Amino acid sequence: MKKTILKYLLLSASLFCTFACSDNFLEIKPRGKEIASTYEHYNGMLNTFNLTLYGAMGQTAYSFYMSDEFTATEESLNNLLLYTQDGGPAAYRYESNYMKPEETTTEWGFGQNIYTYNVIIRDVMNAEGGTDEEKLSVYSEARVMRAWLHFTTAQYFCKPYNESTAATDKGLPLATSSNTMDEKFEMRSVKDLYDFIVTEMEESVPHIQNRTNYTFRCEKSDAYTMLGMIYYYMNKYDKALAAFRQAKTYADENGSSFLYNYNDYDDEWVNNSHPMHYEHKEYMRDLEFSNLHIMYFPFYVPEPIIYVKDEYINKFSAGDRRLARFAKVDGEEFYRPIISYFTMGPTSADLYTMLAECEAREGDANAARALLVEFRKRRMPESEAEIPSSVASKEDLVKFAIDEHIREWMGTGKIWWDMRRLWNDSYYAAEKAKFGHSVGSQTYIPQLDNLVLPIPQQVADWHPEWND
């Protein structure tokens, strides 16, 4: 009995569920509690702030320390021990065993709300009240978010998607049942996992509501952006382009393609308002509170710990207002993020930069340039916003768009996603070899296996078959 309880607690705190249930748990009404049975109940289950914040917030986000834009000194790396114990420096050095057996990691908790979506998917179409169209919209939204949580978890615990190896690369279990105690979490391949994700999204996104007045809900512009991001990180840029174009159309119609003009604000605003909280208007919404199923949490970066490499700082033009997010340390030639917030999508900044890259790769170079200039005018003086004449070829334009995305998210840990995506990109064959960190004269270069976080040992112990 004790073992069963412990197994459940480990699973619920980790990947796919938040609380235990049985097949008939809804049939037993707790005293003083309402049991979900109507359309309004299930619709209301999606109107909760709790679904937007996921992850084990008290744990270390190790991918942050493995992101390529960072460097460290021996002193600062030793200081990192004060905040992450052994794991932070070990992750920075791309060591394979940086997590202690009793330790988990923030990234492992990203899928914890899947259980709620599974309950909605199972029951809403048979709920009392509501039109068939209304119930289908709620059902589809839950499927979209379930797929998105599988995807974001895969960004850390699976190899980057590679068409030629996906069928044999180890993926993750699919969590599709509301009965978490009896479900067998069978390990799937990366191909199986992404096939599921894509099917869920493609079938569901068209049925998402065009516009909502609810604070934390998904609209068509959000859903199409997420679909585009999934294809984008699969390196399927033609499909990503089609989804992003749809997203931009809906976002323009409902006002959620909003971008702050950083030129209108001082440095303090810029370094403290990098998309980070639910009032930030670049979260694809024009309401007072922004959207949505975006996990955000702060990395308050004490000094000195880790710094941003000179080569990344040099990607900014002199007047780029985003430079306010970084500060020199005690007059040294080191820059550190002042404060970093990581979002798991979609933001209007993502939509602009990703759409521009896909236009450059697959569509219209003029459209790509126009999007980039429009975006850059809101991040720097107009005199610096034009694309340099040296950006002449298709490859140059693609890399410039990628650099724009990097400039936007530098110091947040999100560059980790780009490292993974570009690992098999022909344009980055040479640049990939430069990924890595240094401490003094020692250099640490990641390999493909280093782009996959280990499943916490305390979870894997319950599933020895996952190691087969």
pLDDT in tens, 298-320: 444 555 577 889 899 999 999 99
What's the pLDDT band for 104 if we cut at 50, 70, 90?
A: confident
State percent of the chain over pLDDT 70.
76
3-state SS, residue 34: coil
Identify which has the larger pLDDT, 151 or 325.
151
Q: Find out whether 323 and 342 touch, Cβ atoms under 8 Å.
A: no
What is the residue-averaged pLDDT of the chain? Answer: 80
Residue located via tokens 């020692």: 442
**109, two tokens:** 């908790």
pLDDT score for 324: 86
pLDDT in tens, 61-80: 788 888 999 888 888 887 77
Q: List the one residue out of 236, 237, 212 whose CA is nearest residue 223.
A: 212
pLDDT score for 325: 83
pLDDT score for 79: 74
Q: Find out whether 394 and 365 touch, Cβ atoms under 8 Å.
A: yes
Residue 140 reports pLDDT greater than 80: yes
Residue 189 φ/ψ, nearest 5 degrees: -75, 165
- Say what the alpha-carbon torsion angle 203, 205, 207, 210 is, to the nearest 10 degrees: -170
Query: Running DSSP on this structure, what letter comes out for residue 304?
Result: S
The domains of the chain are located at: 215-456
Residue 40 reports pLDDT greater than 80: yes
- In angstroms, the CA 194 to CA 262 distance is 37
Q: Which helix (H) or strand (E) holds 297?
A: strand 296-300
- In angstroms, the CA 212 to CA 396 distance is 39
pLDDT in tens, 427-467: 998 888 889 999 888 899 999 999 998 888 777 777 777 77
pLDDT in tens, 164-207: 999 999 999 998 887 766 667 788 999 999 999 999 999 999 99
pLDDT in tens, 370-387: 999 999 999 999 999 999
Cis geometry, peptide bond prior to residue 304 (ω within 30 degrees of 0): yes
Q: Find out whether 290 and 280 touch, Cβ atoms under 8 Å.
A: yes
3-state SS, residue 299: strand
Rg, Å, the chain Cα set: 22
Residue 25 reports pLDDT greater than 50: no
**272, two tokens:** 């403290």
- In angstroms, the CA 152 to CA 14 distance is 14
Residue 283 reports pLDDT greater than 80: no
3-state SS, residue 244: helix
Residue located via tokens 């459940």: 8
Q: Helix (H) and strand (E) counts for the chain? A: 19, 10
- In angstroms, the CA 99 to CA 66 distance is 13
Hey, what amino acid is at 61?
A
Count the neighbouring beta carbons within 10 Å of the beta carbon of residue 264: 9
Residue located via tokens 């979506």: 117
Q: Find out whether 374 and 257 touch, Cβ atoms under 8 Å.
A: no
pLDDT score for 61: 74
What's the pLDDT band for 144 if we cut at 50, 70, 90?
A: very high
Least confidently predicted of 88-102, 333-347, 386-400: 333-347
pLDDT score for 77: 81
pLDDT in tens, 241-276: 999 999 999 999 887 788 989 999 888 778 765 545
Task: Supply the pTM of this predicted model.
Answer: 0.88
